Amino acid sequence: MKRTMNSAYRDEILEHYREPLNYGKLLSCTVSSKQTNPFCGDEIEIYVKFDKNFLGVLANPPPRWTWAIQEIAFTGKGCAISIAGASMLTEYAKGKTKKELTKFSQEDMLRLLGIEVSETRKKCALLGWSILQDCLSNN
Partner 1 sequence: MKKKDFPIFQNNKDLVYLDSAATSQKPQVVLDAMMDYYKNYNANVRRGLYPIAEKATAKVEEARDKVSEFINAEDPSEIIFVRNATEAINIVVESYTYPSIKEGEEIATTIMEHHSNFVPWQQLAIKKFLKFGYLDFDHNGNLFFVDELIKKAKSLAITHVSNVLGTINPIKEIIRNARKINKDIVILVDGAQSVPHMKVDVQDLDCDFFVFSGHKMMASTGIGVLYGKKKLLSRMEPFLYGGQMIQEVAIDRSTFADIPYRFEAGTLDIAGIISLGVAVDYLEKLGMEAIRNHEKKLTRYCLDQMEKIEGITLYGPKNAEEKGGIIAFNIERIHPHDIAQVLGDRNICIRAGHHCAMPLHTRLGVSATCRVSFGIYNETEDVDILVKGIQKVKKIFKA
Q: Which residues bind partner 1 (CB under 8 A)?
A: 1-2, 4-5, 8-9, 14, 18, 38-43, 77-81, 121, 124
Cβ of residue 12: shortest distance to partner 1, in angstroms?
A: 13
**Which residues, including other chains, have CB under 8 Å from residue 78's CB and lie 6 or more apart?**
37, 40, 41, 42, 43, 44, 86, 124, 127
- Rounded CA-CA distance 28/71 in Å is 10
* Shorter beta-carbon distance to partner 1: residue 117 or 131: 117
Cβ distance to partner 1 smaller for residue 11 or 57: 11
Considering the complex, what minimum distance in angstroms separates the CB of residue 40 from partner 1?
A: 5
Indicate the residue among 66 and 118 with the shorter CB distance to partner 1.
118
DSSP E strand boundaries for the chain:
31-37, 42-55, 64-77
